[in-house]
Structure 1
Amino acid sequence: VEWIPYNQLNDIKEIDKDDYSIICSAIWTDGPLKYNYDKIERIRMPNKKVALKYLVDSNNIINEFLNEAKSYTIENDDHSNIITIYGISQDIDTKGYIMVLQDCYCENCGKIYTGKRYKWCNPCQINNLKQNFASWTSGNEKVDKFIQKAQLKIDKLDDAIFEWIPYNQFDYIKEMGTTLYSAIWMNGPLCYNYDKMEWKRNPNEKINLIFYDNSFKLTNDEFLKEDNSSLFESDDFDIKIYGVSQISETKNYILILQDCYCEYFAETHEIAAM
C-alpha cells in the first residue's frame, strides 16, 4: 500500500454513487508495483486501470475511512474474492481521501464483478439475456419458457448458454446410434473469450444431436417441467447442453450437446431423456 499523488490519477469517470460512497474508474499513470520474477525486482505496471472509492466527507471520518481500507487485501490475487487495495490518495479540491483499488467494479451496473479476474458481471449477463428474449422464438411457448429459464441459471463463465438453434445451422449430420448423431454447428456455441473478456461464438463446432421421434413428445416430457433440473445437473458427467432445435419437416425436437465420445452414448442418452 502506498501514497498515490492525485495527479497520478487520470481519466476519472463516475461508475456508481450512493449516500455513503462514490465509485469511479481511473487510469493510474505510474501504476502499481509488481514483482518481476525474471528481473527479480519490483517494477511498475504503467497506465493501470483502477477503481477509486470515495467515502462521503472522508476527511472528517478518517477512522471509518482507514477501517474500511484495512478490510481490503494487499495481495494482488485476481482469484481471491477480496479486493486488492493499492494505496490511498487525496482529492486536491475537496481534500477528501480516496482508496485506490484494483479494477473490480462493473461499469454498467457499478457492482463488483462476479469474476473480477476476467471482468465478468453475472447480473449484467442475466439482464442482457432477458433483453434478448424477444429476438428469438421456437414457435412453442412452453419450449421458449424452458429455454429462458435455462439461460437464467448461468452463474459462472464456463456455463453453456442454452439456446434455440435453427435446424439449418447444422451441417455434416452423421448417425452414431439409434437417436444419436454428430454434426457441425456452423455458428457454434457462445463461449467466453478470456483474452478479449467478452462472449464470442466458436464457429464450425462439432456437436452431438439427440433426436426425439414421435414417441418422445418433447413439450410433454419430464425435463420440460419447471421443477426439473436434471437435464443440466449430473454428478456423474459434466456434459454441456447447448440448446434445442427442431427438424422443419417432421417437427420433431432435438437436443444439442457438446461433442461426446461414442462410448458415453448410453449414459448421455439416459441423462438427456430424464
Structure 2
Amino acid sequence: MALVFFVILLLCSIFQLGIPTLGGGPVPKFQVTSLAEYKRMVNTNEYEGPFVRLEEHNYAAAANGARVVSFNKEAQGGGNILNRDKDRHYSSPCSAEDKFVVVELSKETFVGAILIANYDEDSSYPRDLELLGSLEYPTEEWTLLGRLEAKDDIGAFQAFILPRTDHWVRYLKLRILSHHREESRCTLGTMMVYEPLIKRTRPKVFDSSFKPQQPPSPAPPTCTCKSAKELLGEETQKILAKARSCDAWTFDPYIALLAVPLILFQFSLAYRCGLVDQRNNHDMKC
C-alpha cells in the first residue's frame, strides 16, 4: 500500500514544472491540475507535449541496479540520491565550483523524464541544473539532454519531461549550476529516471473510410436450354418456356430459327386436322 500511495503522489506532482528544452531554459509550463485531467487530455488528444511512461522501473534506483560512479570531491553522500530515504541526501558546499553527480543507470535507455526531490529544510535547493548523457564512462564527451529549472519546494517531487531525443545513454551527469537561498550547503535528496513513452494512435471506432465487406454476389443463373437437335421433338410450349427462362445474353439464336418453323408446322397441322375432321367425320390422329 505504501508503494501505491507513493506512485500516486509521484504522478500527481509530475507537472509542476515546465518542460526543459535542449536550447536552454524551460518553455512555459503546461498546466495540468491533476492526474485525472492529464489522462483525460491524453485520451482526447488535447495534450500536445511529450509522453512519459511512469512505471515501477526507475532506471536510477539502487534496487534496480543503478549506482553512483562519481561526484565532486567536496560533496558527501552522492549515492544517497538513488534511495528514497528522506534522512540521507547528497550534500555539497554551495561554494564548490563544479557540483555534479554521475549515475550509472540500471540499463541503457532513452531518457524521457527525470524527477528530483529535496527534504532538507536547512539547506539550499538546486535551481538551475544541467543533464548530460553518455553510453560510456569515463568520458570527456557528454551529450546535453536538457537544462532544467527547479523550484524552491522542499519535500515535493519536481518532474522534468525531456523532449524526445535519439540519445541512447547508460550514464547521466547531473550538474548543479545555481541554487535557491543563501545556505552554505546545497543538497539533493532523490533522483529518479524514466524512459519515454511513444504515443500510439488510438484505434478509431467509427471511420468514414471503412466499408463493411459485402457478401459475394450470387453467380448469374445458367441457361439450361437444350440444344437445337433435342428441341426438334419437344412441344412448342416447352420451347417457349425454355426460351423465356434464359437470359438474353445466353439465348441461342439457332433455337429461334428452329422453333419458328416448328410452331408454324404444328399450327398448320392442327388446322388441317380440324378441316378433315369436319368434312369426313372420322378420327385422324394428329
What's the TM-score, normalizing by structure 1? Answer: 0.21
Per residue, is there more strand in 1 or in 2? 1
What's the TM-score, normalizing by structure 2? Answer: 0.20
